Amino acid sequence: MVTYILKRLGYIILSLFFIITITFFLMHAAPGGPFASERALTPAIEAQMNEAYGLNDPIHVQYLDYLVSAFTFDFGPSFKYVGQEVSDIIRRGLPYSLVLGLEAMFIALAIGVLLGVIAALKHNRFGDYTAMIIAVLGISVPSFIMAAVLQYIFAIQMQLLPIARFETFAHTILPAVALASTPLAFIARLMRSSMLDVLSTDYIKTAKSKGLGQRVVTYRHGLRNAILPVISYIGPLVASILTGSFVIEKIFGIPGLGNEFVVSVTNRDYTVIMGTTVFFSVLLLVSILLVDLVYGLVDPRIKVAAKGDKG
């Protein structure tokens, strides 16, 4: 087990190296720089700024500096916001995105799995059609439209929930639902098809032939086997949902992390780009690792430890 995890951590560092390298060169290949703005600086000032932030160094020196700073998680100051460290920016936005993301994850998983199971059990009947209509809507309606519709119904018409900002729990409900709608729909469809597969297997017949009731058969024998594809989907989902959504944050006026991802790129704020990229990648790679470990717990056929020890 330990060998396996160490090996996987090694892979994570290797992947990070490639991600950082590619990001660095893409970033520099894009025209413009952090100090290019509408109000042109005098050449002297610009040269001085470039010198101060190390942008005059040859590209390979800059690249090495970057690698070092990335692996020490010290990304330095933002180019754009004077006096702010990259880590401050992430630390400032993360709590909002984290709360929102966790709430959305919970909604997407709970309701998605439930809808999928109902659809599978009521296959080709009313319950199935209803659940699948919800799922198709969730997938095909873009989140910004979903957000606007939710705001209109629940905040303006019914006056039940606050329309924007992030202050109390009530404020988080609408953005979390809007953020959850797409993954919810995806999980529902995933769950439905895998549950249908599982319900037609022989071991479900065996379970029934023992005289177990419908509910026990579905939940004890069906669910655990059917949920495996959903678990593998959770890995990438965690990373993307916890780091916030630019669109949802803009609409609901939430100072989350999603905003920083987009703004840092348009600003060519090199250190912030690198910081957010590394942060996202680490989150993604670690959550994929965790999902793999959980997979081994749910499905005894997958022997995480044995594979790692051998190879």
Partner 1 sequence: MNKILEVKDLSVSFDTYGAEVKAVRGVSFDLEEKETLAIVGESGSGKSVTAQSIMRLIQMPPGKFVNGSILFNGEDLTEKPEKQMENIRGKEIGMIFQDPMTSLNPTMTIGKQIAEGLIKHRNMSKKEAHLKGIELLKLVGIPTPEVRINQYPHEYSGGMRQRAMIAIALACNPKILIADEPTTALDVTIQAQILDLMRGLQEETGTAIILITHDLGIVANMASRVAVMYGGKIVETGTVDEIFYHPKHPYTWGLLGSMPKLDIEEEELQVIPGSPPDLADPPKGCPFVTRCPYAMSACTKQMPAYTNISDTQKTACWLLDDRAPEVQIPESAIVGGSEINA
- Total residues contacting partner 1 by CB under 8 A comes to 22
How far apart are CB 125 and partner 1 at their closest, in Å? 10
Instruction: Tell the residue number behind the tokens 């990001």, with chain if given.
Output: 23
| Contact flag: residue 208 with partner 1 (CB under 8 A) | yes
To partner 1, the closest distance from the beta carbon of 298 in angstroms equals: 7
Residue located via tokens 């959903």: 230
Toward partner 1, which CB reaches closer, 175 or 296?
296
Under rule CB under 8 A, residue 311 binds partner 1:
no
106 is a contact residue toward partner 1 (CB under 8 A): no
Residue 91 engages partner 1 in binding (rule: CB under 8 A): no
- Taking the least distance from each CB to partner 1, the nearer of 102 and 212 is 212
- Residue in 108, 221, 233, 278 binding partner 1, rule: CB under 8 A: 221
Residue nearer to partner 1 on the CB measure, 105 or 207: 207
- Does the protein bind partner 1 through residue 28 (CB under 8 A)? no
**Closest to partner 1 by CB, 234 or 248:** 234
> How near is the Cβ of 195 to partner 1 at its closest, in Å?
14
Residue span binding partner 1 (CB under 8 A) among the ranges 53-61, 107-115, 175-183, 213-221: 213-221
One of 132, 212, 263, 304 touching partner 1 (CB under 8 A): 212
CA-CA distance, 239 to 260, in Å (whole number)? 15
Q: Is 205 one of the binding residues for partner 1 (CB under 8 A)?
A: yes
Task: Kindly calculate the radius of gyration of the chain based on its CA atoms and give it in whole angstroms.
Answer: 24
Using the rule CB under 8 A, give the single segment among 96-104, 148-156, 210-218, 255-263 that binds partner 1. 210-218
> Site residues for partner 1, window 271-300 (CB under 8 A)?
298-300
245-250 LR contacts (CB < 8 Å, sep 24+): 245/143, 245/179, 247/143, 247/144, 247/147, 248/100, 248/143, 248/144, 248/147, 248/175, 248/178, 248/179, 249/96, 249/97, 249/175
Q: Does 130 bind partner 1 (CB under 8 A)?
A: no
Q: Could you say which of 91, 165, 210, 307 contacts partner 1 (CB under 8 A)?
A: 210
Residue 62 in contact with partner 1, rule: CB under 8 A:
no
Please say whether the beta carbons of 269 and 80 come within 8 A: yes
Which residues contact partner 1 by CB under 8 A? 201-203, 205-214, 216, 220-221, 224-225, 298-301
